[in-house]
Amino acid sequence: MTGTNNARRKLVLIGNGMAGINALEQILKLTNAFEITVYGEEPYPNYNRIQLSYVLEGSKTIDDIILNSREWYEENGITLHTGTKVARIDTAAKRVYTSAGDSADYDILIIATGSKPFVLPIPGADKKGVIGFRDIADCETMIGAAGRVKQAAVIGGGLLGLEAAKGLVQLGMETTVVHLMDTLMERQLDQTAAGMLKAELERQGIKFRMGAKTVEVLGGTEASGLRFADGEELDAQLVVMSAGIIPNAEVAKASGIETGRGILVNDYLQTSAPDVYAVGECCEHRGVCYGLVAPLFDQGAVLAKTIAGVNTAPYEGSTVSTKLKISGVDVFSAGEYLDAPDHRVLRLHDDWRGVYKKVLLRDKQIVGAVMYGDVTDAPLLARLVRDGGAMTDELYAELFGGGSGCCGGGGKKSSAVEGMADEEIVCGCNGVTKGDIVRVIREDGLSTVDEIKVKTGATRSCGGCKPLVEQLLQFVLGDGFQAKEETKQGICGCTDCTRDEIVAAIQEKHLTNVREVMAVLDWRQPEGCSKCRPALNYYLGMAWPTEYEDERNSRFVNERLHANIQKDGTYSVIPRMYGGVTTADQLRQIADAADKYGAKMVKVTGGQRIDLLGIAKEDLPAIWEELGMPSGYGYAKALRTVKTCVGNRFCRFGTQDSIGMGILLEQKFERLWMPAKFKMAVNGCPRNCAESGTKDLGIVGNDGGWEVYVGGNGGIRMKEAELLCKVKSDEELVDICGAFIQYYRETGNYAERTSDWLERIGMEQVRKLVIEDADNRKALIERVETSLAKLQDPWREVVESGRLQQEYYHRIEVARD
């Protein structure tokens, strides 16, 4: 593409969810003709909403479900505004207006605002403690209620309601699902499958109130329970509304765009306004609003080609089938699912194995299917229901066993994928088709599911499509297919190598840069990914502290810019204030810089520092130079802060100089990169005002010396720090801190907090190598001192890297022009 950025048309996307970003991804594959701006109401980049239940139950973190990192937006030249709501659209002037009063022009506009939970119109529905289950904020509310709330109720026995209930049980709450109907998931399952599902979930600890109509939420300002139509009541201090969803068409209604249940679109996803399109759960097509993921990708494919000017067949609707993993149990439903007088019913029900399979025929035509427990036939049945396939003796043998058609092993399912169309979706979470997978297997010589995941994204999210991807591998490779036990987990999908194998290879082969590691260890992706590049950069720097030159382009954007990107695209600048101590001169410098560079807020942080919020990216190098203070590393996988109390300098209870020790430790270790963010606290007495019990390294003073606590975490997965040792002198304390930090640096997985690391390594091992083995402790101290000796002045590092970053972005802009 030639020309300047000014010649590119302006594309604005309202909504930062899966449907809208998938459409953008497909547009970017077709053209570079647009200058793209994205507005999202949540403070996160695009994430996988399907996996919210895993975040709730604690098996995944928020970072684990991010689909497109902030770096992805930046690398693709996309301006991202998170935490920003678009209030209205001036369709005549082609301009969008945010609720904060900002605005932006567009040539093409896509609305992808998704859906909202349906809140029952009953008294008390607005009380505190009544929430939906649609976003990360809802998850955080439920997680925050753990330990405080004893009883929870989930209204709605559909997929999301059941997943929410399982998560709440995992958080330790007594949880009851309240459902209006007599069967769970009554729109997808028959009574037999629903009964098997209910029995399994009861075994997992979920309680049920079936056939119950909720008429009121009880309590004062906060919820205390539910009242039902029959007069009975249920105690609950947390109420999750999961009784359905409604399209979020607010911005369209406010802007005069035609709506029904959702935003009305034609077969090319065009709305009633010129150059305005809608995609996903917010839109209504031919009278249908879809609430599942797969149709959203079908729509996105048509929309992308339409906007890019590529010929495309119209979107004519989607045949919906449901294959879901509910709290560890697989269920599938397609087409008709309830028995009718004109049906022939083929049924297999095995209570011993927990398997149920039902296929509905009208004459010989397959019109519906329901499965529970074993859903390996789901792709085949979904296609047969969609295409109106006929039942045959051979197909019956394949589905229900017996006869020559049943192989019983891995080879029997080839017909399930052989008859699929190339454009048919295999991975509903990421919109990957059969054709995408077959192409990369053939063109790139792939032979494992992990390799396919790296290339296409299939299986990257919920993993429910993994059996089908394996079948495609077998189908394409034929006799060359070898089923592999993929038990070893690499650090990312680019490699099968574990952290220990990578570090060993770096040391044994004396590998000295990221590209060299990837080449020697046969990386599947020659450029790596946003997960492995920062990890390799860290491992190399840890292994060769005196000779390795940090690769700044392998760092996350916040680390490169020495500032935290905020939801509106501005940055947060946090100067370091050692031990929370500052001077009048520093305060004047901060105040002057805040005025000069238009800080939107000046805030004292939880780590006893001052945060300047709302700084423009282009001002970052200048503001740092003007401040003349090192960065507080509020973004880094390094020492963030050392929180201190006033100690014996001022406090009448203080027994030790916590301020002096905190400053000493902060200045010593502030520039040292670590596997994950690292927080410290120093208390002058056991009253613990600086909260050492929730820090990675917490120190408590007493009359006899210091106590050292390690492995604390005050985040989502809270963990109390454990006592490592007691020391008598300041010198011994500094040595122990250095040895502990170095042992964590050398053995921690990249992005692994000390709380998780300590669970994996074990406190006995840490005590043995850091405390009891004096020779090993001395060696650890020598290695950490070697790393510290190379580090330059912290303020100069920030200023110089800011200048380098400015040059880097200038080169990107020139390349784009």
At 809 the pLDDT is 47
Residues 517 and 542: their CA atoms lie apart, in Å, by 14
In terms of average pLDDT, the best of 438-442, 571-575, 709-713 is 709-713
Confidence label for 376 from pLDDT (cuts 50, 70 and 90): confident
- 636-692 pLDDT per residue, tens: 899 998 999 988 888 888 889 999 999 999 999 988 999 999 999 999 998 889 899
Structure tokens at 187: 């729109």
β pairing state of 276-278 and 108-111? parallel
* Cα 176 to Cα 180: distance, rounded to the nearest angstrom: 13
- Cα(271)–Cα(274) distance, integer angstroms: 7
Of residues 641 and 249, more confidently modeled: 249
DSSP letter, residue 631: B
β-pair type (245-247, 115-117): antiparallel
Which residues 6+ apart lie within 8 Å of 378 measured at CB? 321, 323, 332, 334, 371, 468
- φ, ψ of residue 342 to 5 degrees: the values are -90, 10
pLDDT band at 466 (very low <50, low <70, confident <90, very high): confident
Using CA atoms, how far residue 591 sits from 226, 490, 576, in Å, is 52, 47, 15
pLDDT at 408: 37
User: What average pLDDT does the chain have?
Assistant: 87
> Is residue 48 left, alpha or beta, with left meaning phi > 0 and alpha meaning psi from -120 to 50?
beta
Q: How far lies 786's CA from each of 280, 547, 573, 639, in Å?
A: 54, 11, 30, 17
Stretch 492-496: mean pLDDT, rounded? 84
User: According to DSSP H, which parts of 639-773 are helical?
Assistant: 658-669, 730-747, 754-761, 763-766
Interatomic CA distance for residues 614 and 596, integer angstroms: 12
Q: Find the angle CA(469)-CA(750)-CA(43) to the nearest 5 degrees.
A: 75
Specify the long-range contacts of residues 168-172, CB closer than 8 Å, at least 24 apart: 168/56, 168/142, 168/238, 168/240, 169/204, 169/205, 169/206, 170/56, 170/57, 170/58, 171/56, 171/57, 171/58, 171/142, 171/143, 171/145, 171/146, 172/146, 172/147
Which pLDDT tens digit goes with each residue over 498-540? 999 999 999 999 999 998 999 999 898 878 887 888 899 999 9
- Residues 606-623 have a mean pLDDT of 87
In angstroms, the CA 45 to CA 672 distance is 28
| CA distance linking residue 125 with residue 457, whole number of Å | 40
Q: Above 70 in pLDDT, residue 406?
A: no
Domains belonging to the chain, first-starting first, are: 5-115+247-308 (3.50.50.60), 130-243 (3.50.50.60), 407-482 (1.10.10.1100), 499-555 (no CATH), 636-792 (3.30.413.10)
Count each helix (H run) and each strand (E run) in the chain, helices first. Answer: 26, 36
46-89: pLDDT as tens digits: 998 888 888 887 777 888 888 888 889 988 999 999 999 999 99
Rg of the chain on CA atoms, in Å: 29
DSSP-derived pairing of the beta strands 610-615 and 601-604:
antiparallel
409 — pLDDT class (breaks 50, 70, 90): very low
Contact indicator for 502, 456 with CB cutoff of 8 Å: no
Output 55 or 774, whichever has higher pLDDT: 774
Two structure tokens written together for 516: 């060299």
> What pLDDT is recorded for position 556?
74
E strand or H helix at 534: helix 532-543
The pLDDT value given to residue 391 = 92
What pTM value is reported for the model? 0.70
Task: Provide the pLDDT for residue 656.
Answer: 92
Tokens of 683: 């208390």
DSSP alpha helix (H) spans, 111-240: 136-145, 159-170, 191-203
Residue length, the chain?
A: 817
H or E element at residue 474 = helix 466-477
Distances, alpha carbon 442 to alpha carbons 173, 428, 476, in Å: 50, 22, 8
pLDDT bucket at 275, cuts 50 / 70 / 90: very high
Distance between CA atoms of 817 and 813, rounded to whole angstroms?
6
Q: Answer yes or no: are the C-beta atoms of 622 and 616 closer than 8 Å.
A: no
The CA distance from 500 to 308, in Å, is: 46
The pLDDT tens digits of the residues spanning 318-366 come to: 877 777 766 668 899 988 989 999 999 999 998 888 999 999 999 999 9
Does the pLDDT value for residue 402 go beyond 70? no
| Residues contacting 570, CB < 8 A, separation 6+ | 600, 613, 614, 615, 616, 617
**High-pLDDT (> 70) share of the chain, %:** 92
Of 367-371, 394-398, 784-788, the one with minimum mean pLDDT is 394-398
Handedness of CA 151, 180, 204, 469 (dihedral sign): negative
| pLDDT on residue 405 | 38
Residue 1 pLDDT > 70, yes or no? no
* Percent of the chain topping pLDDT 90: 54
Decide if pLDDT at 811 tops 60.
no
